[in-house]
Amino acid sequence: MNTSNSTNEIIVKMVLNNWNTALSRVDAVFSELSNEELYKQIAPGKNRGIYILGHLTAIHDRMIPLLGPGKQHFPELFELFVTKGDNPSAEIPEPPTLRESWQIINQLVEQQIKKVKTNEWLEKHTAVSKEEFVKEPSRNKLNVIINRTVHLSYHLGQLALLKKKKQ
């Protein structure tokens, strides 16, 4: 292994560690919240926990095709939890269904991540053309992980408000 590979390995490990930590923390909050608590708003008039559960599942579902050959698994969730905002009177899947979808997507994303070799992380993700990528080399697979880690953390800060302890 040369120095360059070893450097890349450290960086990839570092980024994936941050992703896995954020994911575990969010997963722990969802596990801790009862189905009833999921229906609570994070603050008066703001998104409910269940909306954030659906939202994160839908956003992570979209990571599957970005990281390599693979398809979105629950495309219908994107419309409900990303395109549309939270609306307590809208019909959405029940907590047990969404909890299961969340786990399925977590597993599929993990499988996709494992397929990417160290030297492939700086290659373009699948939604960017070769021409665009020459101009913007940061639109690579590793940046997808960094960006989604930041997004996860944004919502973790909100989900923490549903927990009984002050955060």
Q: Which is nearer to its own copies, 72 or 153 (CB)?
A: 153
DSSP symbols for 134-153: HH-TT-BHHHHHHHHHHHHH
Closer CB to its own copies, 70 or 133, in the complex:
133
Q: What type of residue is 112? A: Q
The separation between CA 19 and the C-alpha centre of its own chain, rounded to angstroms, equals 9
Contact 143, 66 (CB under 8 A): no
Taking the complex as a whole, the smallest distance from the CB of residue 35 to its own copies amounts, in Å, to: 20
The residues that touch its own copies, with contacts defined as CB under 8 A, are: 3-4, 7-8, 10-11, 13-15, 17-18, 22, 42-47, 85-86, 122, 137-138, 140, 142-143, 146-147, 149-151, 153-158, 160-161, 166-167
Query: What's the rounded Cα separation, in Å, for the pair 107 and 113?
Result: 10
Residue (10 or 90) nearer to its own copies, CB: 10
Nearest distance from residue 73's CB to its own copies, in Å? Answer: 25
- Residue 89 and residue 4: Cα distance in Å, rounded? 54
Nearest approach, Cβ of residue 167 and its own copies (Å): 7
Distance between the two ends of the chain, CA-based, in angstroms?
Answer: 44
Q: How far is the CB of 71 from its own copies (least distance, A)?
A: 26
Which residue number, 7 or 35, has a Cβ lying nearer to its own copies? 7
Both tokens assigned to 119: 């030297």
- φ and ψ at residue 89, rounded to 5 degrees: -95, 0
Q: How far is the CB of 67 from its own copies (least distance, A)?
A: 16
Phi and psi at residue 93, in whole multiples of 5°?
-60, 155
| CB closer to its own copies, 6 vs 97 | 6
